[in-house]
Chains A and B, each alone.
Chain A
């Protein structure tokens, strides 16, 4: 595990973290993995519908980046979003129930796998259209800066503070005009948004080399907009954190945008229906050897020596039970009632004659609020 050894140097940000903190990160990553394994099983049993994209392999990215920001920094992501939702603290039951299309889901069953929203945890969505979240990310950062600079207090009346917004995107989204417009705007207006490319090497079956120019120098795309950048290995969460955390701190302080190319890998197919003809088993194995969960577990067990094999096993067992409870919750939850839910949440301020079909209503309160 060469990456783990590297980050064990005493002066790195991750070296200063407590054993308990890193053990929690390990648990966060295990939670995502176990959750996704159950998601796949549920999808195969047709309990989950629609498109469903699995985060397994990329866990270190969501956990490492989210741990580098504050709880009230806004984040927004694409459709491969279960990992971000969980890393941000979404209740696994609400996440699973959403995919089951249940009334107890984070979006009351109106969003689905690709559209996870969690207001209390500042997750402004999973977004299904490739690249669509990138101007939104600039806008979240714009608003956070406006709050600090123009309103001079937070929207809830509290003290104003400098924030950053994280905006995740796949390598495929590098080729969407929206991102380029958003980066230019973020540059011009100096909005503190950090574009995090989760570079897993493929957009569906298109390898990054076939999809974008300068595939091995993605930072040049950010340079074109005057945006500072980092290129970071995303398999080791500690190494990722060591490079990402100081970058975030600078951008927060100086209130300007950033761009990070994080090299990662998805072990599963693009979505639940992908025979994966475009890559070799060997390639997948190479990345699995550097697996984020195994390497952090190794670090904690063999270098920090703060976690025993048995404790790790117990952690995994506990997480599995938590995920099973989430599945049970989703299974047992009621479906949304069309009588109250179909025509609610369309308008915040419903009024007569908005539709020829019938009047809109205010729906059930969202379970997360």
Chain B
């Protein structure tokens, strides 16, 4: 039990290996991150729909009720605007809430609290109150859920100053980033994916935190830079593998956070490859990929041998039909085609 309520700075000095045999699911990595921080700081609590007695709509919080009790693992009614706003009030008061949205698609009814209150409170109060809160949940197409349930909110929400946004692609990063998010004094929007919650990977026993704003350099290559965040990182890895077979070597970066955005690593890679493809699972207009392209033009124009190319989801509402949904999402073949275009151009 803590006796004082100071929040320590995350310790980034430990960087245990990403390889090993402690293989757990993405959802377990998230659970470990929350549980570890909740054990250390009683001000941290988890709130959301079905997080307690149902053990989590997607079983992320399984078993947490048993360990922490219903005063800290709190079921809410289906009331996103209400409970998001309530958690923000609690954060202003000095607690450190984690709010689970069953899906970020449902956060749209909470737009006012999460966009108008949380990220602006510190500024509006002239530095008197911040909002140390984590909003987390599934983002992106889950699998034939149609347009209301398949939102990628990163394009819309990352536009707002005052918030931070992390979009992990694997269990190792998910745990380290979420632990950092919980210790951060600013509101963090943490975007997971229903399609990845069952993904397995090595997550070390040893405690570690991953700093925001540092891309993970996944693969070395000198022909084309390939960057993404969240689920499409895997499509990039597949594409890079295929292209390698044809002698095209991609330098692959998993951005991990989009605000802050590790543009320095992108430019460093670009200086090596002079070509870039940006893969983004949200719509192209005014989105994260557009932002990356804009920053590349501002900071790396002279190193470009070909205009940057982006692969987004198609610019239509998310369709239901399996084949339409597949045609809509970014995938390996779209990425391969994009890379071929920039390297041949």
Contact = CB atoms under 8 A, between A and B. Distances in A.
A181 B126 contact: no
A201 interface: no
A89 interface: no
Contact of B128 (A107, A137, A142): A107
Nearest to A109: B126
A150 B77 CA distance: 21
A219 to B, nearest CB: 20
Contact of A135 (B82, B122, B298): B82
A138 B92 CA distance: 12
Contact of B125 (A74, A107, A157, A189): A107
Most chain B CB within a 10 A radius of its CB, from A109, A140, A348: A348
Interface in B278-320: 291, 294-295, 298
A53 interface: no
Contact of B71 (A146, A177, A366): A146
Interface string A161-190: 000000000000000011001101100110
A248 interface: no
Given A138-B89, A143-B93, A189-B74, A353 B129 contact: no
Contacts of A348: 122, 130, 132, 185-186
Contact of A149 (B71, B87, B122, B264): B71
Interface string A332-369: 00000000000011111101111110000001011011
B124 A117 contact: yes
A255 to B, nearest CB: 13
Contact of A177 (B43, B81, B264): B81
A46 to B, nearest CB: 23
Interface residues of A, number: 62
A346 B259 CA distance: 13
Contacts of B295: 356
A280 B5 CA distance: 55
A140 B112 contact: no
Nearest to A362: B127
A47 B6 CA distance: 42
A48 to B, nearest CB: 17
A140 B90 contact: yes
Interface of A: 74, 76, 105-111, 115, 117-119, 124-125, 127, 129, 132, 134-144, 146-147, 149-151, 155, 157, 177-178, 181-182, 184-185, 188-189, 191, 344-349, 351-356, 363, 365-366, 368-369
Interface of B: 4-5, 42-43, 45, 71-72, 74, 76-77, 79, 81-95, 112-113, 116-117, 121-130, 132, 161-162, 164, 184-186, 212-213, 259-264, 291, 294-295, 298
Given A107-B128, A139-B92, A181-B82, 9 more contacts: A109-B126, A117-B125, A125-B124, A129-B116, A135-B85, A139-B85, A139-B89, A348-B122, A355-B161
9 contacts: A110-B125, A110-B126, A119-B128, A138-B86, A140-B92, A140-B93, A143-B95, A178-B112, A348-B122
